[in-house]
């Protein structure tokens, strides 16, 4: 995974921050645009995380020190997400035999509330944790967990089947998908793929892709930045000389300046 560090002077940095505050937030696959994924573990080393081009395999490998544990990926949001959003992650080859061994897509909000879509072994296969178990819907060893907010109402789904919904109008502050282990040493494992987050439904979301890397080279607690593919720019009319290619950052700044000029008429 490539890592980019932006080195900006203060005025330029402030301008970039202003741009980010007005941009759609979206992230997909191992890479992300304007967003950062990082490894999330309650106990470092308890799980083996194996990354490849399109998937993340999580499996318990160490001794559980006690209590509920989990490991997976966390999204550090670049700005406050107050609008509608959708988050989803596909899972396959789920091995979660044993009570409280689960697969979870977790969201946290600014008012301290939470909302987790959970693949479990109880009932029909899934529930929402708010905290407290809510709902019960079919969910298999392979599926897709989804969290979707529309006009303040968050719905948890498995394979587009509604599990439960509640009002969650506060700003979204955290998002993770994890494999949860109970207090024992059950041999739990799962493969995650096609993870997506979109908080502005006008921006296209790309999935998958990226380089292969091992768990040792994967990010652990840091922020990794890779650009998802952009749609090709149409060619300029023949009568208009083509402008030289601009970097993504320069294009963002140029676009923001144009919006400011249009707004303030200067």
pTM over 0.85: no
Is residue 112 domain-resident?
yes
Domain coverage including residue 174: 44-203
Three-class SS state of 21: helix
Domain count, the chain: 1
The answer to whether residue 105 sits within a structural domain is yes
Say yes or no to pLDDT of 154 above 70. Answer: yes
In angstroms, the CA 256 to CA 169 distance is 29
Determine, yes or no, domain membership for 242.
Answer: no
From 209, 260, 224, select the one nearest 73 (Cα to Cα).
224
Q: Is-contact 179 70, C-beta < 8 A?
A: yes
* C-alpha distance across the termini of the chain, in Å: 42
Write the pLDDT tens digit of every residue in 186-203: 999 999 999 999 986 434
**pLDDT-based confidence at residue 5 (cuts at 50, 70, 90):** very low
Q: With 80 as the cut, is the pLDDT of residue 40 above it?
A: yes
CATH number where 122 lies: 2.60.120.200
């Amino acid at each position: 995974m490539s890592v980019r560090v932006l080195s900006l002077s203060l005025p330029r940095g402030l301008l970039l921050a202003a741009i980010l505050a007005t941009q759609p937030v979206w992230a997909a696959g191992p890479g992300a645009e304007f967003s950062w994924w990082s490894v999330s573990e309650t106990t470092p080393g308890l799980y083996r995380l194996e990354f490849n081009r399109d998937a993340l395999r999580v499996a318990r490998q160490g001794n559980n020190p006690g209590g509920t544990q989990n490991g997976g990926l966390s999204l550090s949001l670049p700005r406050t997400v107050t609008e509608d959003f959708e988050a989803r992650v596909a899972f396959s080859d789920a091995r979660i035999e044993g009570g409280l061994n689960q697969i979870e897509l977790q969201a946290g909000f600014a008012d301290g509330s939470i909302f987790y879509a959970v693949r479990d072994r109880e009932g029909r296969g899934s529930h929402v944790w708010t905290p407290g178990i809510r709902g019960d819907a079919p969910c298999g060893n392979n599926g897709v967990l989804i969290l979707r907010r529309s006009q303040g109402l968050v719905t948890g789904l498995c394979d587009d089947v509604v599990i439960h919904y509640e009002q969650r109008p506060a700003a979204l502050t955290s998002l993770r998908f994890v494999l949860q282990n109970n207090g024992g040493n059950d041999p739990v494992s799962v493969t995650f793929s096609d993870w997506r987050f979109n908080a502005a439904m006008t921006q296209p979301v790309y999935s998958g892709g990226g380089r292969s890397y091992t768990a040792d080279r994967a990010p652990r607690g840091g922020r990794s930045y890779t650009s998802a593919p952009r749609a090709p720019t149409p060619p300029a009319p023949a009568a208009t000389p083509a402008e030289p290619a601009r970097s993504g950052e320069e294009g963002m700044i140029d676009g923001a300046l144009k919006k400011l000029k249009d707004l303030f008429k200067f």
